[in-house]
Amino acid sequence: MSLSPEAIATLSGVSTATITTVLLKKGLRNVWMRGTKPLRPGQPRLVGPAFTLRFVPAREDLATPESWSSPISTRTAIEAMPKGCIAVVDAMGVSDAGIFGDILCARMVKRGVAALITDGVVRDVEGVLGTDLPVWCDGFAAPPSVAGLTFVGWGEPIGCGGVAVFPNDIVVADQDGAVLIPQALLDHVLAEGPEQERMEAWIVNEVNNGAALPGLYPMNAETKARYAATKK
């Protein structure tokens, strides 16, 4: 799945906090991926389809340096990543084995990958930052992935930070972390997200002008009428 430039532009103007609110109104409560923090403060909001990768617990006969040359390896998976995707990696929240380092991240940049998101950690953090690949993760650690994880595949449903992620679901990441938009709800978020942002900006302006919160947030009928009048 490829996102249109128009969809990317729209979602780039909608915060992850707003997206969680819009999806909550549709009954989805679990779309924020726990442990996905921006590695570099100030990273811009990014949007893209999910390219999924999955690790399982380390098993000594499989999690070896030799496995890096296997056809089922992170190296091979990176070569399958399409331009503009966001790599979403299920690392099971393991925090003492870095899933990717500077060399793998540099290759992702060359392939045009938009970002790396994981509930695990990276290694070679200085080098990773030097690649300028935007990364959302739970920190960093020196040991390699095989010290605690076994890579088992890509392009399948995963769990990242406690959220079910299917290939080509839409991911938006900003300073609050990464959230998932199911493909079936993309049009709804595209329609409702910008309006939620406009409404909340108007509310903030009212607060800055001295308005009290009761009846304003959430809006009562009178406030809704005043807000509607501003859109005419």
Binding residues for substrate: 101-104, 123
Q: Are 121 and 91 in contact (CB under 8 A)?
A: yes
Beta strand ranges found along the chain (DSSP E): 32-33, 37-38, 46-57, 86-90, 115-118, 135-137, 149-154, 158-160, 163-165, 170-174, 177-181
* Planar angle of CA 187, 31, 150, nearest 5 degrees: 120
Taking the C-alpha atoms of residue 168 and residue 86, their distance in angstroms, rounded to an integer, is: 9
Query: Which residues fall in the annotated binding site for Mg(2+)?
Result: 124
- Is the CB of residue 158 less than 8 Å from the CB of residue 90? yes
d(CA 219, CA 14): 20
Task: Report strand pairing: 135-137 vs 37-38.
Answer: antiparallel
Residue with tokens 């992170």: 74
List, in sequence order, every residue forming a beta bridge with 37; answer none if it has no partner: 137
What CA–CA distance (Å, rounded) separates 195 from 25?
14
Residues contributing to the annotated binding site: 101-104, 123-124
Going by C-beta distance under 8 Å and a sequence separation of 6 or more, which residues neighbour residue 4?
A: none
